[in-house]
A and B are shown apart, each in its own frame.
Chain A
């Protein structure tokens, strides 16, 4: 019996507003779009926010468009209809089905990414997001592994793609989006069963805050 579970951790209203307004960092937009693919409730909220954008757009004082530009456009109307983008097959990575905006970045599949081992049970692969000031990467954590307790120097978004993790904020599974504000402090533990795969987008390098882990800080980027 398959049951599609709906996410329980959602971005705050103001994050969805940034996304709907197009004022969000492209890497954060990617994490948000990943969550939206899995979350019909947040898709509805974004549709409402876009309707607010539409209402504000409608109130803008009109800026006249020149007759020449208008005529030039009408001359081009018969140039042809946009071909609909072809339905692309899911990636041949054998891994979890990824939302399209993310799949496009992953390209040839998860194993083709430049994975870098951070610890024996944690690895990460950077994802280059064009024009992003924030940093995006995939993290893969072995079942049951604990990430050392750490504090964020800036905000962080974690979208779960497979497996799950538990921290003080609760249980996170595929589709959940955790948003950690600056200076929040947590210690996630991957759940048993399968690898925990997450898209992590953050603003600034993290600081380890546990007693022994603090010695590791110089080795982190």
Chain B
């Protein structure tokens, strides 16, 4: 705690603004995505420790919660959370707000870290500089400029999903079970699981089609 305080003080006045943003963030969750992106930029461009402290306080408890929800005990989850947040600090410059929101980016880092740690096998990620990569035919990236803001629309769209669809989505992301394993363990027919997931995703995809606002 003291170390963190000292770091914040060392970055001086420049470091204070993100803290103010962070407090506002708690009051108005609708702006979380943009605030987090601004903090990421401060970390990437200026190695701003106060901005990172604000990111840590917002994201680390969710990373730990995610890992514990997936069955890790608190001590292991906390250790992996530190590793995830260290990656956030070190790779901040590779965060691209046009491709993903901050929560999404951190979620994928936590997902991959958990797979590495538990299975001792890497999640095969697509690397944008892979020579074998087939690029999108048109200038699709322009259409995706505000990816971070989708998270907000998505949260609202998820809240409106029928309960059984939202529950299946959470099981997919947080129970470490593939859709066919969910069908086996829940006793639901595989076709029912598939059709519920497809219905849920069709509804949520509408949130993407409607654009970020």
Contacts and interface: CB of A to CB of B under 8 A. Distances in A.
Interface string A19-58: 0011111100110110011111101100111111111111
Contact of B194 (A12, A23, A49, A99): A12
A220 interface: no
A9 B47 CA distance: 44
B134 A39 contact: yes
A101 B125 contact: yes
Contacts of B155: 55, 58-59
B111 A51 contact: no
B134 A76 contact: no
Chain B interface size range:
35 or more
Interface stretch (A66-74, A113-121, A145-153, A164-172): A66-74
B107 to A, nearest CB: 4
A37 B170 contact: no
Contacts of A56: 158, 169-170, 173-174
Interface of A: 4, 6, 12-15, 17-18, 21-26, 29-30, 32-33, 36-41, 43-44, 47-77, 81-82, 87, 90, 97-101, 103, 129-132, 155, 175
16 contacts: A33-B126, A38-B134, A47-B100, A50-B100, A51-B208, A56-B169, A57-B173, A60-B66, A63-B61, A63-B68, A71-B4, A73-B56, A73-B85, A90-B132, A99-B130, A131-B120
Interface of B: 1-4, 7, 32, 49, 52-53, 56, 60-62, 64-66, 68-69, 74, 77-79, 81-82, 85-87, 89-91, 99-101, 103-108, 110-112, 114-115, 119-127, 129-137, 140, 144, 147, 150-151, 154-155, 158, 169-170, 172-181, 193-194, 197-198, 201, 204-205, 208
